Each structure stands twice: as structure tokens, then as C-alpha cells.
A and B are shown apart, each in its own frame.
Chain A
Amino acid sequence: MEDHPGPNTCRNTEETKLDTKTSAFSPEQVQHAIEHAIHYLPSQGPIAVFVHHNTLHAFEHLPFELAVIEGWKKYGAEPYLSEDRYRHELLRGRIAREDIEQVLAKDLGQRAEEPIVLGTTRYELRLAMLIHPIRNAPVEELRWFIAETKALREFREDVSPNVESRVLRSVQEWMERNSKVTQQLTQQLTLGSKSEDPTAASSPEQWTAWTLAWLHRVCIKGASLVGEVLNDVLKDAIPVRRHRDIVLGSHGIDCDVCVNEQLIRFLGSATDQGFAQWGLPDRDRPLFELFQELYGVRSIFQPGWLKELSDLIAQDRASDRSSIESIVHSLESLGLREYGLDDFIDSTLLSLPGWTGMIWQLETNAEWTPRPLRAGSLQDYLAIRLLLDRASLRSALGQIAEIEDQPSLLQGSLSMERLAQVLAFHQRRNVRQTVEQRAFVLFQVAQLLGWAPNELESLSATEWQSLMDEISHCGTMERRRLLHLAYERHYRNEALDAIASQPAPVPSAMPAKAPGPISFQLITCIDDREESFRRILEEIDPAIETFGAAGFFSVPMYFRSSSDAHYIPLCPVVIKPKHFVDEIGQLSQQELQRRQAEARRVLGHASHRLHMGSRSLAAGTLTSLLGSLASLPMVARVLAPRLTSRIRELVAKVVKPSQATLLLIERIVPEMSIESAASESAAAESAQRREAKLDQEAKLNQGFTLEEMANMVERLLGDLGLHRFARLVFILGHGSSSLNNPHESAYNCGACGGGRGGPNARAFAMMANDYRVRKILQSRGLEIPESTCFVGGYHNTCTDSVEFFDIDRLAPSCHMDFLQAQSLIDQARERNASERSRRFTSASLGLKPPEALKHVEARAEDLAQARPEYNHASNAVCFVGRRLRTRGLFMDRRSFLTSYDPTRDGPGSEILTRILQAVIPVCAGISLEYYFSTVDNAVYGCGSKLPHNITSLLGVMEGAASDLRTGLSQQMVEIHEPMRILFVIESTPHVVLEILAKNPVLNRLVSNRWVQLATLAPDSNRIELYQDGGFADYQPTSSAIRVVTDSYACYHHQRGHLSFARLGVQ
């Protein structure tokens, strides 16, 4: 340290200066600021468990429109799609002009008809600005545009001929009246432009050009009369929150680049969940200590700024500072003032949002991971970050001092105010539009609204001012907001119209005609991907009934399959399961299974060793020498993925656990009191101990009691309103499997916490089939006929395969029914695959159903496939109500379908309450995550999947080293239409409002407009739409709905989104 007198001396001056300063931060203040910042961090945990949630969860207390703007300010992310994109949708007919008109009229309310200038109302002005693009550009570009294009010679292309001729006529008449002024004007104008005297020779072109030149001149004159106008906030403004922003703005040196590179390496090691063969030594110690130890020593080839860092660390160590003390010290030496503290800490933590958020997740919310972090890690991280920031800033200032020959730069306070001064940093935030830019906007608006120059000439300065104010109030963000509302309105109307056009339900008072026999019943998840599957089954056999319920089927459990090492929770993330269920081999198969497990273990160890060895020195040499053998699987897997997977499956049969298993759902151990798990700092204990504890807990909480089973069965059947039973009731959990897909878990069932819902369905069926459970239910008045059998199953939404569990235990009398049902389901799988394939550009459009099934099977096995399926993309609606209200409606896989029978709900609407409590947050989370990942894929989403690189077994980076990316990838959202989800609930507004009043979580989402809400009356087709705290009647805009023979006719040879249709044959 001593050999660097330079930095030392200036540091001393810095410190002496600081000592005189009175305002020091207290640790509490800093901790408070950190807590404030935590809310803004992304809350996505380790990627192996991906749960959809609202990206802007931190802003849910605000109305949606405000929140997206806040997000824009905080993260620099787009709040809506681009204006061009909405206009494209307008041209395409996805937004109708009427939508914009209605939205605008509603938005302006009474202010709509207020005149602005020349008899134009506010409504007309804004409408013109919404429908037509208003261009603006930097002054230089604008000058070029005016000089080199036809801007001043022809009207804009989107000005209607009527308006054009009206303007021309008005000018002409005016000129005839005032010929003297005309001559003067002509002279002036001819000087400026090429237009000639209109009175002399007047071809229509010249005439137009002359008029436009005049118009532009008038606009310039008008714009120069205008005073201060709040500008549309410019995109390239650099918000100054940290020192880095100042140095970047003044000298183009980004101090964050080297800091981030360093941090990514360090954090990767510190959070590694077991990927690296050589882990961070003593990683159980606090991060701050580890960091000090690693970087406190200088080495020869270190870049200069790291040498600064080791000096800073040495100082901290000398004064024996803890991480919080170090933060306080750093803040002081950075010359921070109290008022900027929150903002500074927010933006410091948000400079690597993904990693920072992951630290917080590992610290607080990840006791199930192999290596969570200890409490206080985020604070340690901030201390580390500030040390690095200081070192990097110091070295950047050193560079600048050298270039500019200003040795004084490094001396004195480092406060942002002083830096900004010394570095002559000009904030560009307050760039005001110049007269020319304003004039050009006015010029365009004048053309669109048909204002003639002679009329504009007469405006007073105040009128110009109010016009300009008005225009700038309708800036690009405002226009995008309105266009987005129109975009949503269009789809909402289509959806509500379609639902309203369904046949009205028969009033329950009248006895319905005797219901026919039911072929079988099918219960699936509410997932939008099951919509087509259910619809197609109903299409194949109209006597099939389908139901939808949250995919864990009200069986929350920790589950471990016979081939799994660990328990995984299978229930929504908000629930912490209390019961453990194991899958074990059947008694007769246990010896075989034991041997298979042994073989798997040996093979597993061997392949793990191979995997590790191939990356090491000696073993790597050996494996590489034999590496040519790797060419076989590689060529085969890439060129024939489906065939290869078939062969692999055949080979794997030897060690694959046999199907002859059963679930231990019943409690066999007597209940014991469990010592309450020490809740505080799970991170402190070692991983093995925690896992051992979970195992112990599992032993104690193995399985459910009969009473509990009966409760769960009763609850689900009640939710579904299922009371007439067919002989066979299928219940299908769902999940998805794909290769080369780090986000695989996001494709699984959200209601199972990113797991696969098969075991839940299987457990439910076992419970519902248990005669003792049925007996209990019978005593409660729920009679399940003896002939009814429940069959659990698992639907893979990627390959469209359906697998059934425990069919060997079906009563022989059901066998025929089962085989029949199975063949129908097989048909449905093929047709479902064909409907899905229309979306995939690599599948040709004319694919026949059997080929389509093969195609989707290949997708799941293809290493090269970046889009194994489209997951929830394009989701837009969630219907809660009886299936008969939507049955026969083609909804294009865009609707969640939750079964709920309002006629069977109690007076307190308990059933609807518990359904909505689960469905609204979950579907809103999915819809909003898709929304944000689509409108700004680079910030809210995780960018393109192509360069993704799995790191620390926690998440993905882009390329070699980057922030941990959260959200959804471009390939997942590319076909999504970002809209807030529309809930249609079969109930009365009264009931729904009451539920909202009692549930603040739901109310917050609804009243802040994060979701749209409508009710459908249980006894008629009356629809009411939620607006500002109440419901208003919805009048269907059109009654005509497309009628087609079947789904195939609807989607056949179509790639894009499809409108609703009624399926003719029922």
C-alpha cells in the first residue's frame, strides 16, 4: 500500500474533509433504505422452479397506468407496445377506429367537447393524433426532412382528399378577398421556397406547395409565440442517480462495466448451487468476509482499479468495519446527502437487478435449495458493490485527470454535485423542444385537421399556447396508453359478444329435459392449453362432460416418486404443504425395483463421473480420445430426434422403474407432535442437516388421514359443481417436457408450483375411489355411485401424450368403458396436436392430425428446438362458471376455464370466494408476466433464448457473462398479444363486489385495473363490466358470430390469432 503515495494522499484529504462533515448516516437509516430497495428487485427464484408472477408486483398498490410509467422511470422499460405497433394493428383491423373513438370519448368524459382552437374540439384533436402518426425528430433530421422530402410540397398521405380540398379552397377564397396581402406573402414565401406566385401560374401541385409552405410558416410563427411547455420526456435522457451516470454522461466512461464483470464472477461462485468442481473455500462465511479475503491481496497483473480496491479493503480491515459500517463509510466518502439516499441505494442495487434479486431470494426464500445464503447477504453485497464502485470511480477519475491534465480532480469531495460541476456534465433531461420541432408537430396536426393557414393566422398568442399545451398533453406515452386501451377493448368486446351469443341457460325452476347419459367426465387443469383439448373431446363425443379446476386438484403435498431423490412440493407456491406422499413399488415388484434402483445408482455415478471427468485434465484426455463415439448420438439426435428418443427409451427400459407402483397416500404412522422447526435462519444450518430434517418430517407426516381425504374430495367436487357422475371420471394433471430448455419448469403446471401435476391427479383418484372415503362423504350427503370409477392421468402439453395411472385396479366392469374412452382421448390428442401445430412455423400448415402428433413429439425431443410449445402465450381470458356457458365456443386456446356452478353455491358464496382467491392472483400473474415480457423483452423479459448460458444452476445469463436474466424469453412470447386478462365470472355483480370487499388482495388487483373483470348473470346472458368500483351493463356490439362446422374448419390453414366462432355441430 505504501508504495502508492498518490491515492493515499488524496484519500487523506478526503477523510479530513469528511470528518468535518456533520451529517453521517446511521446504520438504521441505511438498513431502511435497503429494505426500501428490496421491493424493486425481481422476485424470481432459482430457475428450476419457475412460477409466473406479476413482474411489477412492487407497484401493485398503484393503478396499472401509473405503475407502468413508474416502471419505466425505475427500470427504463417500455410501458406499452410501440406506437408504430399499435398503428400497425389499426391498419390490420385488430384495432378498429371505433375502438379508439370510444376509448377516447370515455377517457375525456366531459372535457371531450371543449373547443381548443378554430372550432376543433379536444376530442377531434386527440383523435387525429391517435389515428395518425405524428412524427418528430432532432432538429437536424427535421431540417433535412423538410428540405429533401415532399413534406412541404404535398399533403401527408393520410390526409383525406376532402380535407385537402377544403383547405385549398379556403385559402383560395381568402386570397381573392385580400389580394394585396397575398402579393406580399407571395414574395416572402417565394424567397424561402421554390413555390412560385400562385396567382400567376397555378398548376394544382404548385398551388398545394404554396399553401403548405404558407401553413408551415404560420406554424413556425405560432410556435415561436408559445412559452414554456412541458415536454414529452425524452427517451435518451440520462437520469442522474449515481456517480457512474455523471462520468458516463460527461466522458463516456462506464464505471459499471468492470464492476459488473467482477461481480458476476464473484457472485456466480458465491451463489453456486454445486456446479463448479472447486467451490469457493469456506463459503458458509458471510459474503463480505469472503470478498475481503479474496480481493484484499494484490497480485501482479491485476488491472489498476483492482489495486485501488485492495487498498479500500485494507482500509476497511484496518478499521475493522462490519459490512454495514463499510456501507456507511462508502456512502460518506461518496459524499452522499440524506435526501438522495433511497434513490441512490435503489439504483445501486438495480444496476445488476437479476443477481441482486437472486441474492435476496437465496437469503430469504430458498430453504429448499442445496445452498441458500445466510441472512444479511444482501447487505454484504451492497457493501461489496459500493467498494467496487468507489474503486472503479476513482480509477476512472484518475484516467480523466490524466487526459485532461487536471490533477485536482481526485482531490476534494466526491459528491455528485461537485463531480457534475467539475466534469462539466450537462444533464440532457430538460431538453426543450425547439421552435422548429414544435412547428413541425403543429404543421402535421393542422394538415390532419384541415386548418387553413389563413385561419391559423388569426390565432392569438394565448390560443397558440393552449393549442401547444393541448398537443403536448397528448404525448407519446399518453397516445400509447389510449391505443392500448383500444387494443384491449377490441378483444374484450369480441370475447364478451361471443359469450353473450351463447344460448341462454334454462332457468333452474323449470325442469330441464331429462339429461342424457354421459360417456365419461374429464377434469383438467384450468390452463388455457387444456381449452382446446376439452373442446375437441366434446366435439368428438357430445356426451362427454369436461371440468376445469386448479391443477393440484386441492391435494397439496410433498411428493417423491420411486425414482426421485427428493421431495418436491406439488401445490401453489402460496401454500406450504404439510403432507408427504411417496411413490413405492408394488410388493411383488419390490425386488426388481431395488435392483433397478441399484443399477440406476451405478449408472448415475458413472455418468456423473464421465460428465465431470470430461472437463478435467487426465480423465478429459481419455474421454476426448474416445470422443469420436460422441458423433453418433450427436448426429442421430440432431437429424432424427424422435427416432433417437424412441431407441433411448427402449434401452432405458432396463433401468426405468416399472409402472407397477402405488402412492402411499394413507397415513400409517400414528400422529406425533413435531417439534416446531426452527424457523430462524435456515441458511445457517448445513445443507445435509436440513435435508435430513425434511426426511424426518416426512416420516412423521406421511400421507393423509381418511378424514382429510374426504375433505379434499368434497372440496374439489364442490368447486367443480360435479354432482352427476358418469361411470368413468378422468382427472388429468399436466406438465411439459422438453430438451435444451432452462425454462422447462415454466411450462409445467402453475398450480403445482412449476411441477408436474400427474401425482396430484393420481392421488385424488385414489382417494375418490376409496370406499371408506366415499362412506364419509355419503354421511355428509355427497353420494358417489358405486359404479363410478375415478382414473388419474397425466397430460403432457408438449407431446400431447396422456398417461393413466392405476388402471390395473379398475373394476373389470369398467374395462370396456375405459378402452372406449381411451380411444376417444387418443383421437383428441391427435386433433389437439394438429390445432397446436398451426402456430409453429416449422410445421407445414396442411399437417394431418396423426402427422401433427408425430411433429409435436419430435419437438419435445429436439435439442435444437427453441420453442417446444408456446406455453401460455396468447392467454387473454379467464372464464369462471359452468362449462355449458362456453361450450361449443371456439376460444383459440386463449382462455382459462374454471368450473364453478353458481346454482350450487351457498348463500355466502364460499365456493366462489375460494375459487377466486386462487384463480385471480394466479391468472393475473401469468397474464401480467406475459404482458411485461412482451412489451419490453429486453428489460422485463430475458431476451433471446439463443445465447442463454446456465450459471450456478440458478438461472441464465446472456452469453459469456451478464446479469441473471429474469422473465420470459423472446421465443416464449413472440406470438403473445399483451393485454390484461379479462375475467368473466358467472355470478352477479353484487356477489362479486362483496367478495372483492372482503379480499383486499383481489380488490387491489381489480380496482387498480391490473385485470379486467366482467360478470355473466347465472340465469340470462346479461353481462356487466367492472368500471371504477362498480359494474356497468355491457351492450353486445354485434350479435353475428362466425359459425363453423368444427374446430378443424376454424383453424385449418391459419397461423395467426383467430376470432371466436360457434361450432355448428353440438
Chain B
Amino acid sequence: MSSVLSCLAAIVLGCPILTLLILGFCGLIQRPLPERLVDRLTKFHVAMGLVATLGILGIMIGTNHPMEVLDLGNFVEIGQEHFHFHLEFIFDRLSIPMVLMTFVLVGVIGSFANIYLQGDAGYYRFFVCFSMFLVGLLFAFLAGTIETLFLGWELVGLSSALLIAYFHERRSPVENGLRVWGIYRVADAAFLMAALMMHHWTDQGEFLRMVNDQPWPQGTSHLDPLASLSVGLLLLIAAAGKSGLVPFSGWLPRAMEGPTPSSAVFYGALSIHLGAYLLLRLAPIFADSFVVRGLMFGLGALTAIYAAMTARVQTDIKSALAFSSVCQVGIIVMEIALGFWYLALVHIIGHAFLRSLQLLRAPTLLRDYRTLENAIGGRLANGQPAWIARMANHRQIQWYQFALERGYMDSMIDQALLKPFRKLFKAFERMENDWLRWLESAKGSGSMKKTIRQDWL
């Protein structure tokens, strides 16, 4: 039985990887496949993956087997440094639903994009990023070790940023892509630190070992409180960056630069839940740390309220949906903090489907509104809640401005994170210049300085 399961698991992972390799390789050697072939290839592999996942699910339910582990051994191992990069995948109650959802959504969006992007100059590029995204997501969802999760996490980040900057002939997609990439790096840095700490404290990155080989969601960690607090905090930062929690919420509406299907599936439905998934996966580890859970709850609540308010004032459909997504993710994080893990899982999956559908049909908005107006027989009320109307006028304007300007979150990040960073590097630049000047006077040769400066520039 186990060999059948391993076989199926290999298909689940192998098919998308194969697609990525084929598409990527043909693209690299400047021989992109024709559109029809790309379409068939992606559809076939997604369908295979979906069927294989369903097979695994069926067998596991049939044999009452709560968990299946696919261990691919160490990718890198440096014995004396105690370093290993361990590839391990878990199929369990958490990852299988997520993978099923991924395949369904990605499959639907794939065939949507195939028609939508037909004849577009970036068609091939889109599908390369698309398959990279799929591989990344599968790695992230199925990861059994924190380093595997990180690998998937990075692939998702890279393909996301590239997809946001899909229309790279215009300025703002590239700028926004870069901004999202920057925020992802902050999240990555926090994640990496958390991973290192975990390795430091437990000598390993396998989730299962950390929870005494119990299938999710059972098991408790044996981390000491301080460790679980610091790891928990770092992971919270990572999740906040990836899932657009306060104060990083500003990136999600900015991600709506790409073609509609990529905004829909990637940022509206899948990418945005990656942080929540991380928290869900590691929830047993810091289940005992009430500080972490309290902070998580607070962050979730703050995000939900902030985003609900901001979403209300948005006047364009994609930003409105983006902030609504952030709002729901905030609630999901709250649910995780409260320990309603299954509820959170159901919430993630339901929300992903709902948002995808809404984003896919976003361009039909005008028609939908007209249909509704006709059915109702008058103009639509915009559903402004009564408590807003009851506010004093100047308060109302203040809060409205806060919501309209998105709480100046982006500017806050700029001032609190970016500015000191830039100042630091400016200082380095000055130091380097001073050093060069010193070198120059010591050696007396001007050409040296020039070459170094040019390299640096």
C-alpha cells in the first residue's frame, strides 16, 4: 500500500515539476512551445496531479491512515557543520485539502488564462511563472521540513513578483512588483531566522520530530517557552509579510497589476493564504505559548478591522476585493490563535474559491450592477452602515481619510524600515569613499579608484 502511496505522491509532485522543467528549458533555449502545446501540457499535468491527490486521499481514508510521509533524503549534507537540507513531504489532514484546492484552482485558472491571454506577447512567460508558482505552492503545502517549506515559499515569492511585473513595459507594474518583492524579503528574512533558531534548538527542521511524530493537528512541541516565543514571533512576522497582515497590508492591492487571472488566483486566493497556512502548520508547536497566541489574535483582529474599513472606501473593484481578502485572512489568523484549526482550514479553502470567482468576474461588474438595479427597480443602496452616519462630521472625515489613505501603512514602512536602511547604506557609501580616497593618496594612482567606482556603480 505504502509503495502505491509513494508512487502517487511522486506523481503529485513530479508532474508540476516536469511541466516547469519542460517549459523553462524550452524557454531558455529560445524555443518556446506553441500555445496549444503549453495549454495541453499544463492541463494534463494538473489533471494528473489532481487525480493522484484524490487517489491518496481515497487510500488514506480507506485504510484509515492519517499521514503519509515521502522522504527524499538530504539534498545537501555537510556533516561537520551540522548542516543538512532535508527534503521531506507530508500528506496529511492539513496538506491534502490544501493541495486539492490548489490543483482545482490552478487548473481552472490555467484554462481560463489560456483563453484570456491568447495571442498576448507574454503568454509563454505567464505559463512559466504559473508552473513555477504551482511547484512552489505544492512544496510549501506538502513540506515536511522547514527548509522544504522555505524552498516552496521562495518559489512562490519569485513567481509572484514576476507575475505582478508582467506588463514590464509600463512603470507601475515593475515598481509595485519590486515593492512586493521587498516585503517578501522581509518575510523571508524572518522565516529564515526562525528556521535557523529551530535548527539550533531542536537540531532538526522536521515538523514531525518537533511534535513527537504525531499527525497534525495532534502532538505538542517540546520547545522551551523562550524558544517557542522567539520562533513564534519571527514566524508571525513572516506570516504577516506573506499574508498582508498589518502593517504589510499595502502590498496586496498593488499586486493587482498583472492580468486578471493571475491577480485572481495568486494574490486573491493562494499567495495570500500562505502565511496563514504557515501558522496553521506550525500551530501545534506554539500551542502552549499564550503570548504568541495572544499576539497572533491581536494582529489578526487589528488586520481584520483595518481591512474591513479600508475595503469599504475603495472605489475600484480589484482593490476592494484585495482588502476584503486581507480582512478574511485576519479573521483566519484569529481563528488559528483561538485554536479553531479545522475551522480555519475550512475558512481558507472557502475563501480562496469565493475570492477567485469574484476576481475572475470582476470585469463584469458594470453588467452585474445593471442587472441588480433592474431586478430591484431602482438605484442600489451602497450599504453604508448606520454607525458611520451617526459619527460626528469631523470624526467621519478623519476616519474616512484614514481609510482612503490606507492608514499610511506603506509610508510607515518606508519611514520605519526603508529610511534607516538607506541611511545605513549611505553611511557605508561614505565610508567606502573615504577609504578609496585614502587608498588613492597612499598609492598615488588615480586609475585604481576609477575602476573600483565603476564596478561598484
Residues on A facing B (Cβ under 8 Å): 47-48, 265-266, 268-269, 272, 274-282, 293-295, 297, 299-303, 370, 563-566, 597, 600-601, 603-605, 607-609, 611-612, 614-617, 620-621, 623-631, 633-635, 638-639, 687, 691, 739-742, 744, 841-842, 862-866, 944, 946-953, 957-962, 974
A563 B360 Cβ-Cβ under 8 A: no
Contact partners of A951 in chain B: CB under 8 A: 315-317
- 20 A-B pairs within 8 Å (CB atoms) are namely A266-B404, A277-B313, A277-B383, A281-B397, A294-B397, A303-B411, A604-B376, A608-B376, A608-B380, A616-B308, A624-B354, A627-B355, A630-B350, A740-B360, A742-B365, A866-B116, A950-B366, A958-B170, A959-B167, A960-B318
- Determine the distance from Cα of A952 to Cα of B365 in the docked complex, in whole angstroms: 11
Complex Cα distance, B367 from A813, in Å, reads: 41
**A740-B364, A842-B118 are contacts. A625–B347 as well, Cβ < 8 Å?**
yes
> Is there an interface contact between A269 and B372, defined as CB atoms closer than 8 Å?
no
Q: How far is the CA of A306 from the CA of B83 in the complex (A)?
A: 50
Given contacts A624-B350, A863-B364, 16 further A-B contacts (CB under 8 A): A275-B365, A281-B393, A303-B415, A611-B372, A615-B311, A627-B353, A638-B360, A740-B363, A741-B364, A864-B115, A947-B167, A947-B260, A949-B318, A950-B365, A959-B167, A961-B319
Residues of B within 8 A of A629 (CB): 350, 353
Q: Do A620 and B364 have beta carbons less than 8 Å apart?
A: no
Q: Are B173 and A959 in contact (CB-based, < 8 A)? A: yes
Chain A residues near B363 (CB, 8 Å)? Answer: 740-742, 948, 950
Contact between chains at B354 and A962 (CB < 8 Å) = no
CB within 8 Å of A: which of B111-133? Answer: 111-120
| A279 and B389 alpha carbons, distance in the complex (Å) | 11
Interfacial chain B residues near A631, Cβ < 8 Å = 104, 353, 357
Contact A638 B377 (CB under 8 A): no
Interface of B: prevailing SS: helix
Q: Knowing A278-B313, A617-B308, A625-B347 are in contact, say whether A950-B362 is a contact too (CB < 8 A).
A: yes
Given A265-B404, A281-B393: A974 touches B412 (CB 8 Å cut-off): no
Q: B343, B372, B375: which has the most chain A beta carbons within 10 Å? A: B375
In the assembled complex, the Cα of A946 lies from the Cα of B349 at a distance in Å of 26
Contact B367 A607 (CB under 8 A): no
**B354 in contact with A614 (CB, 8 Å):** yes
**Inter-subunit contact B327/A302 (CB<8 Å):** no
Inter-chain contacts of B400 with A (CB < 8 A): 278, 280-281, 294
* Among A293, A294, A627, A631: residue with most chain B CB under 10 A: A627
Instruction: List the A side residues contacting B368 at CB < 8 Å.
Output: 611
- Closest CB-CB distance, A776 to chain B, in whole Å? 36
Residues of B within 8 A of A597 (CB): 377
B147 within 8 A of A: no
Interface centre among B176, B253, B320, B376 (most CB of A within 10 A): B376
**A634 x B356 contact (CB < 8 A):** yes
User: Judging by beta carbons under 8 Å apart, are B350 and A625 in contact?
Assistant: yes
Whole-angstrom distance from the CB of B274 to the nearest CB of chain A?
17
Task: Tell me how far the C-beta of A546 lies from the nearest C-beta in chain B, rounded to whole angstroms.
Answer: 32
Q: At the interface, yes or no: B146 with Cβ under 8 Å from chain A?
A: no
Are B308 and A630 neighbours in the complex by a CB distance under 8 Å? no
**Measured CA separation A302–B407 after assembly (Å):** 9
Contacts A47-B366, A620-B328, A951-B317 hold; do A279 and B354 have CB atoms under 8 A apart?
no
- Whether B354 contacts A281 by the Cβ 8 Å rule is no
> Which of A274, A605, A959 sits near B382, CB closer than 8 Å?
A274
> Is B408 in contact with chain A by the CB < 8 A criterion?
yes
With A627-B354, A638-B360 in contact, is A615–B397 under 8 Å at CB? no
A947 to B321, CA, bound (A): 15
Q: Which of B363, B377, B400 has the most CB of A within 10 A?
A: B363
CB contacts (< 8 Å) of B376 on chain A: these are 565, 601, 604-605, 608
Q: What residue in chain B is nearest A568 (Cβ atoms)? A: B370
Measured CA separation A999–B428 after assembly (Å): 73
Q: Are A615 and B320 in contact (CB under 8 A)?
A: yes
On whether the beta carbons of A946 and B328 are closer than 8 Å, the reply is no
- Cα A959 to Cα B180 with chains together (Å): 14
Bitwise interface map of B from 410 to 437 toward A, beta carbon under 8 Å scored 1, else 0? 0110110000000000000000000000
**Complex: A293 Cα to B393 Cα, angstroms:** 11
Do the beta carbons of A295 and B401 come within 8 Å of each other? yes
B304 in the interface (beta carbon within 8 A): yes
Contact A863 B361 (CB under 8 A): yes
With both beta carbons as reference points, the residue of chain A lying nearest to B260 in the complex is identified as A946
Q: In whole Å, how far is B319's beta carbon from the nearest beta carbon of chain A?
A: 7
A620 to B332, CA, bound (A): 12
Question: Could you list which residues of chain B lie within 8 angstroms of chain A, going by C-beta atoms?
Answer: 104, 108, 111-120, 166-167, 170, 172-173, 176, 253-261, 304-305, 308-309, 311-321, 324, 327-328, 331, 343, 346-347, 349-358, 360-380, 382-384, 388, 393, 396-398, 400-405, 407-409, 411-412, 414-415
In Å, the complex CA distance between A633 and B120 comes to 27
**A303-B353 in contact (CB<8A):** no
Q: Tell me the nearest residue of chain B to A300, going by C-beta.
A: B408
Given contact pairs A274-B382, A742-B366, A950-B362, A627 touches B317 in the complex (Cβ within 8 A): no
Q: Quick one: which of A277, A624, A946 contacts B259, CB cutoff 8 A?
A: A946
Across the interface, B351 reaches (CB within 8 A) one of A294, A370, A627, namely A627
A48-B370, A635-B104, A638-B111 given; A274·B319 CB < 8 A? no
Contact of B411 among A48, A278, A302 (CB under 8 A): A302
Bound CA span A250–B357, Å: 47
Complex: how many Å from CA A566 to CA B371?
11
How long is the Cα–Cα vector from A744 to B363 in the complex, in angstroms? Answer: 10
Taking CB as reference atom, which chain B residue is nearest A617?
B308
Are the C-beta atoms of A866 and B118 separated by less than 8 Å? yes
A953–B365 CA distance with the chains assembled, in angstroms: 8
Q: Which 9 residue pairs are nearest across A and B when measured between Cβ atoms?
A: A604-B375, A627-B350, A627-B354, A951-B316, A959-B257, A946-B259, A624-B351, A268-B315, A301-B408
Cα-based distance from A607 to B368 in the complex (angstroms): 10
A617 near B305: Cβ-Cβ < 8 Å? yes
Instruction: Report the separation of the CA atoms of residues A281 and B392 in the bound assembly, to the nearest whole angstrom.
Output: 11
- Assembled-state Cα–Cα distance A563/B362 (Å): 24
Whether the pair A946, B353 counts as a contact (CB closer than 8 A) is no
Contact B254 A278 (CB under 8 A): no
**Contacts A278-B400, A615-B320, A625-B346; A739 near B118 (Cβ below 8 A):** no
Nearest Cβ on chain A to B447's Cβ, whole angstroms: 23
Bound form: Cα–Cα A450–B32 in Å: 43
Tell me the bound Cα distance from A687 to B328 in angstroms.
34
A residues in contact with B313, CB < 8 Å: 269, 276-278
Q: Which residues of A contact B304 (CB under 8 A)?
A: 617
Give every chain A residue within 8 A of B117 (Cβ-Cβ).
946
Collect the chain B residues with CB atoms within 8 Å of residue A960's CB: 172, 176, 253-257, 318-319
A952–B259 touching, CB < 8 Å? no
Give the CA-CA distance A860 to B384 in the complex, in Å: 34
Q: Are A841 and B167 in touch, CB under 8 angstroms?
A: no
Residue numbers in B under 8 Å from A282 (CB-CB): 393
* Min CB gap B101→A, angstroms: 8
Nearest-CB residue, chain B, relative to A293: B397
By a CB distance below 8 angstroms, the chain B residues around A608 are: 372, 376, 380
Distance between Cα atoms of A299 and B312 in the complex (Å): 21
Which B residues lie within 8 Å of A866 (CB)?
115-116, 118
Measured CB to CB, the closest approach of chain A to B373, in angstroms, equals 5
Residues in B neighbouring A47, C-beta threshold 8 A: 366
In the bound assembly, the distance between CA atoms of A48 and B369 in angstroms comes to 11
B409 contacts which chain A residues (CB < 8 A)? 301
Q: How far is the CA of A691 from the CA of B355 in the complex (A)?
A: 35
State in angstroms the CA–CA spacing of A174 and B357 once bound together: 79
Do A628 and B367 touch across chains, with their CB atoms under 8 A apart? no
Residues of B within 8 A of A300 (CB): 408
Question: Which chain B residue has the least Cβ–Cβ distance from A951?
Answer: B316
Please determine whether B118 and A269 come into contact, CB atoms closer than 8 angstroms: no
- Most chain-A CB neighbours within 10 Å: which of B315, B355, B393? B315
Which residue of B311, B318, B351, B378 is within 8 Å of A616 (Cβ)? Answer: B311
CB distance from B33 to the nearest CB of A (A): 16
Complex: A477 Cα to B388 Cα, angstroms: 58
A231 to B29, CA, bound (A): 42
